[in-house]
Amino acid sequence: EDQVTQSPEALRLQEGESSSLNCSYTVSGLRGLFWYRQDPGKGPEFLFTLYSAGEEKEKERLKATLTKKESFLHITAPKPEDSATYLCAVRRGGGSQGNLIFGKGTKLSVKP
91 binds other proteins (CB under 8 A): yes
Considering the complex, what minimum distance in angstroms separates the CB of residue 94 from other proteins?
11
Separation of CA 62 from chain center:
10
The residue within the footprint of other proteins, chosen from 18, 67, 96, 109 (CB under 8 A), is 96
90 binds other proteins (CB under 8 A): no
Q: Coil, strand, or helix at residue 102?
A: strand
The residue within the footprint of other proteins, chosen from 19, 22, 49, 76 (CB under 8 A), is 49
Chain residues in the site for other proteins (CB under 8 A): 32, 34, 36, 41-46, 49, 87, 89, 91, 96-100, 102-105
